[in-house]
Structure formats: structure tokens, C-alpha cells
Amino acid sequence: MFQEEIAKQLSVLTEIEPNKILECIESTKNKDMADFAVPIPKLNKFKKLAGKPDQLAIDFASKIQLNDCIQGASAAGNYLNFKVNRLLQVQEILKDVISKKDRFGMTEQGKGKKIIVEFSSPNIAKPFHAGHLRSTIIGNFMTNLFNELGYETVSMNYLGDWGKQYGLLAVGFEKYGSEEELLADPIKHLYNVYVKINGEAEKEEEAKKKYAEEVAAGVEPTAPLQTTPTIHDIARAYFKRMEDGDVEALAIWKRFRDLSIVKYKDIYNRLNVKFDIYSGESLVTEGMAIEFKKLQDKNLLEDSQGAKVIDLSKPNKLGKVLVQKTDGTTLYITRDIAAAVDRKNNIGFDKMYYVVASQQDFHFRQLFDILGKMDYQWQKDLTHINYGMVKGMSTRKGTVVFLEDILNKTQKKMLKIMKQNEQKFAEIEDPEKVADIVGLSAVVIQDFNAKRNKDYDFNWDRMLKSDGDTGPYLQYAHARLCSLERKSGFEFNPNANLTLLTEPEAFNLAITIGRYPEVIQLTHNQIEPSTLVGYLFELAHAVSSAHQVLWIKDREKDIAEARFVLYWAAKIILGSGLRILGLIPLERM
């Protein structure tokens, strides 16, 4: 309403269409200065205005007519600033929330469009750690957001369940495997087996290298050369059998895969994440032959000492990429080619996102380039959503922290904090579950606090922090709003007299609520959870300031009901934001 009035008046002055001016109106951050502002240079996009921007700002400011809606216009440099009727603004925003409820800020902009979000995609037998956690929560957030904006979404887990390392794992299991441990915790056990056999295999390789160096230097070798096949040789042969469809080799592998998925599902459950599809590198072997033929027909394959490579040095300088080894087995990127085609043909999408760490930037550039060279027009609909590393963990050094341990430890800590308030604690139905949700909130929000492309160091303090701007703080703000409603002695009245919300704290809170739709759009445009998280903290702070002065209990009915609506709206938005981030908003904690 306010933007429309501004656009209407400016349109008369500039002869630019109101709709175009609407695009240029900004909602200001500092509400003491102005409520809305128009950067004059932006208008030039639509029409070349005669005069300097700062002069034009002064000129326009003097010609704006003040009315019930617009209460002030002034120039500040190149900006034309507006003050509007705040009481009216508060009412407009709250009425809007009353009518739309938790659809406030949501749209149907994605209607009729289908999006595949591929995320999490852990590697069986490698740890599911804080690194994979990032993909999981970013992908989950994206799926939630797209759903709210009307898109049809398909959430997909593309398991790393194929490749030579499964040969290695099978060899390792024969040597070190324990049925009992496998059943108890397949992910951890397979990981332990993998680390052991990998360490042993590396030692063999090092000995081989040393032998070669010594021979080359003309000195007597310290140890004779290993004549039996190395662990790597056996693993390679094993994987070759898998790719050739050897029933026995596949049976063992399938068991590892199935057991791991059961366990993954537990973890995802705890993370409040669901997948529509469990796919994996192993499931695309059939399509691979067809795509290989296509690569051949298009003359894209080059021979390189018995292996096959694709030359991507032109025009994008992406080097040469190996797509088939000398023994005929495939590689990670080969499987990705087949997987993309398979998804296009069998699921279909208008857009597909790969949520994968930025270490794989180059891999995805190569993949997209190959698909382009294969003339797949939909290649332009693929996007790699990358994110920075969680540093300070290494598989080799054994400093990897498993996701489950993170969740257990945060849960324990939150439970301890909750117990400090005995009375409140007694009211909670399932404290373990609540503590788990608060713990997850801590883990997710510490991650989403910074831009996704930033690296961060893993450290426990960061995960376990429970004061300041944290996940527990957002949950607490929500639970407090719920408790306020329960204990206020009043009820939600959609016809409350909102003109009674005159205090600056009420204005500030309502305005913050009113910014939600714009924040959602920004979050969507940048696919950036930190934008939404930053906003939710502002909202929670505005709620907290309001709590200091705007009381409900024992107040006059009219005032209490108006404030009730204000807090109710804040609760709706906070809850909506938390849900999009993948968290269950708590009513008590």
C-alpha cells in the first residue's frame, strides 16, 4: 500500500510507469531515517532523467504530497527518503499475517516447475561427518524452501556406493570383518575396516615405491619386492568383478549397502530429513553403456595408453578427464554422466541442484561441460550448490568426528541445561526428544550463521554454545511466545483493535515481521540460509525488546488483544523460518 502510493506519486513526476518504480523502492534498515527510499540513479534504468540525481532528489522531495499514507519526503544525497504513517503500516502488516497465517511470505512462484535437489550423498564405508552434515542441512533447507514457494521437489540421496574402494572394503572385511559389529553399527564398523585395510594397502604401496627408488639410485634394496598381488591389485580385481556383474561379489556389496541405508535412515530421522529417492552410483551402470556409446559416436573419446579420456581443454580449459580405466572400469565422473541422463529421462526436472562441497567445483564444471558437448540441451538447468569445508578433521589422522557423536553430545548438554529449571523441566512431555531437537538446532544454526561458501573450523565449543545468537536462543524465543499465549489469559482475536499498537517496540517488531516476504525472496535468489538465519535473529531480538514493555497479562482487554496478535504473528514467522531451516519449532523447552 505504501509502496504503491510512493510509486503513484513518483510516476506523475517522472513519467515512469508505477510498476517499474515499485521495483526501485527499498525498505530501509534504519527506520529512524526513513521507512522507504528510492535511489534516484536506479530510475535511469527505465528513463534517462534530466538533471543530477542529488538535485532531482531535492526537487522530487519538495513536490511529494503528504497524506494519510506518506508523512514525509526528503532528499539524502542520491536518495529520496520517505516516512510513512507508522500506525497504518503496523495494521497493514498484521492484517496481512492474520489473513495468510503461515503462508505469509510464501508464494506460488514455482508452480508447475519440478526441481531435483541431490544432497547428502555420503560414501558408504567412509565416515558421515560434519562435512556431509553441511550438504544434508543445506539440501534439506533448499527442499523446504522450494516446497513453500510452490515448486514440486524431489529430494535425492546419491550414495557413494560404487568404485574401487568397495573392492578394498570387501578385501578388508574378509580379513577384519565381524558379523556382530557389522549388525550393531554398520557405518562405524565398515569405516573401521576400511581404515585398517587402507592403512595396510598404503604401506605396501610405499614399500613398492621405496624399492623402485632404491633400484633407480643403484643401491641395494632394503627389502625384496612383493611378488604376491598387493591389496590394491586384489581390490581392483574385486571391483572389476562387481562391474562385470559377478553375483557373489555383488551380494556382499549389497549387504553392506542395505545395512548402511538402514542406519542412515535413523540418522536422517534424527536430523528431520527425508529423501524421496535413495539413488547411488551403483544404480547407473546400465545407462553407462548407452552414454559411452554416445560419447564414442560424438567422437569425444580419446585413447590414452589403453584408457579413455575426454579432452575438455577447449573452450573452457578444463583439461583432460579420464572416463574409463585400462581394465574397462568406470570412474566417478562417468557415473555422474549416466546419472544425470537417467534422472532427466526417468524423473524429469526443470532444474537440478547438486549440493556438494566446493572441493568438487572442478568436477562439476567438467561434468557440465561434457554434458554440453554431448548436446544435452538441459545441461543449462544444472547447478552446483557448493559450500566451504569444515576444517580440522582428517580421516587419515583419525580426527574425524562422527555426526552421531556430535548429535549425542549436543543433546546431552542441552538436557543438562534444561534440567536447571526444574519446574519447566517437569512440564516437558519427552525431554530426551526435546533436548535432541534443541541440540540439532544448535548444530544447524552454528553452521547457517555464516555464508555457505565460508570454511569453518570444527570445534566443540562452537557446537555446544547455548547463549548468544544460537539455535537454542531461537527455539527459546519461539517457546517463550507459545508460553505467553498459554499463560496470558487471553485468546487470539483476529478483529483486535490494532491501532492500539503505538509504542516504538511494537512498530519495530511489526516492521520486522513485514520484512519476511522480502527476506524469503532474497534467501531464495541467493540460496543462502544465512540470510534467513540473520533475519530470524533480528526478529527474535525485536520480540525480546517488546517483551520488556508490551505486557499482556492483567492488561486491559483491548490492549492485551492487540498485543496478543502482534506476538502471535511473530510466533508464526519464527516458526515458519525455523521449519524452512529444517528445525521443528518447540512449544516448550
Which spans of this chain sit near ligand ARG (rule: CB under 6 A)?
118, 121-123, 158, 160, 336, 354, 356
Nearer to ligand ARG, 27 or 285 (CB): 285
Least distance to ligand ARG, CB of residue 386, Å: 11
Beta bridge partners of 352: 116, 382
- CB neighbours (10 Å) of residue 99? 10
How far, CA to CA in Å, does 261 sit from each of 140, 242, 249, 587?
A: 18, 19, 19, 32
Whether 126 is a known active-site residue: answer yes
Residue 163 half-sphere exposure toward CB, CA atoms < 13 A: 17
* Contacts (Cβ under 8 Å, ≥6 apart) of 213: none
Task: Round to whole Å and give the CA distance between 293 and 271.
Answer: 41
Q: What residue ranges in 216-283 does DSSP mark as E strands?
A: 277-280
**Helix, strand, coil % (nearest 5) of the chain?**
60, 10, 30
Shortest gap between Cβ of 160 and ligand ARG (angstroms)?
Answer: 3
CA distance 20 to 9: 13
H-type alpha helices, 347-430: 361-373, 403-419, 422-427
Considering beta carbons, is residue 5 or 336 the nearer one to ligand ARG?
336
- Which lies closer to ligand ARG via its Cβ, residue 156 or residue 542? 156
Q: Quote the least distance from Cβ 200 to ligand ARG, whole Å.
A: 23
Q: Which residue type sits at 174?
A: E
d(CA 190, CA 167): 12
Q: How far is the CB of 585 from ligand ARG (least distance, A)?
A: 31
Strands 79-84 and 70-76, how do they pair?
antiparallel
Task: Considering the candidates 83, 129, 232, 344, report the single residue annotated as catalytic.
Answer: 129
162 or 473: whose CB is closer to ligand ARG? 162
Beta bridge partners, 402, equal 129
The secondary structure of residue 160, as a DSSP letter, is B
Active-site entry in 45, 83, 126, 320:
126
Q: Which residue is nearest to ligand ARG (CB)?
A: 160
Residue 117: CB minimum distance to ligand ARG, A = 11
CB of 28 to ligand ARG, least distance (A): 41
CB nearer ligand ARG, residue 123 or residue 329: 123
Dihedral angle sign, alpha carbons of residues 258, 261, 265, 266? positive
Rounded to whole angstroms, the Cα distance separating 15 from 49 reads 10
Nearer Cβ to ligand ARG (323/464): 323
The verdict on whether 317 is a catalytic residue reads: no
Find the shortest distance in angstroms from Cβ 281 to ligand ARG: 7
Q: Determine the Cα–Cα distance for residues 152 and 235; give it in Å rounded to an integer.
A: 42
Residues near 209 by beta carbon (within 8 Å), at least 6 away in sequence: none
Judged by beta carbon, residue 282 or residue 508, the one nearer ligand ARG is 282
- The answer to whether 161 and 125 have CB atoms below 8 angstroms apart is no
- Tell me if residue 344 is catalytic: no
* Distance separating alpha carbons of residues 254 and 167, to the nearest angstrom: 12
Residue labelled with grid coordinates 574397462: 328
3-state secondary structure of 307: strand
Annotated catalytic residue within 8, 63, 132, 547: 132
C-alpha 120/C-alpha 357 separation (Å) is 10
Closest approach, Cβ 375 to ligand ARG, in A, equals 21
Cβ proximity to ligand ARG: between 341 and 356 the closer is 356
Catalytic annotation, residues: 126, 129, 132
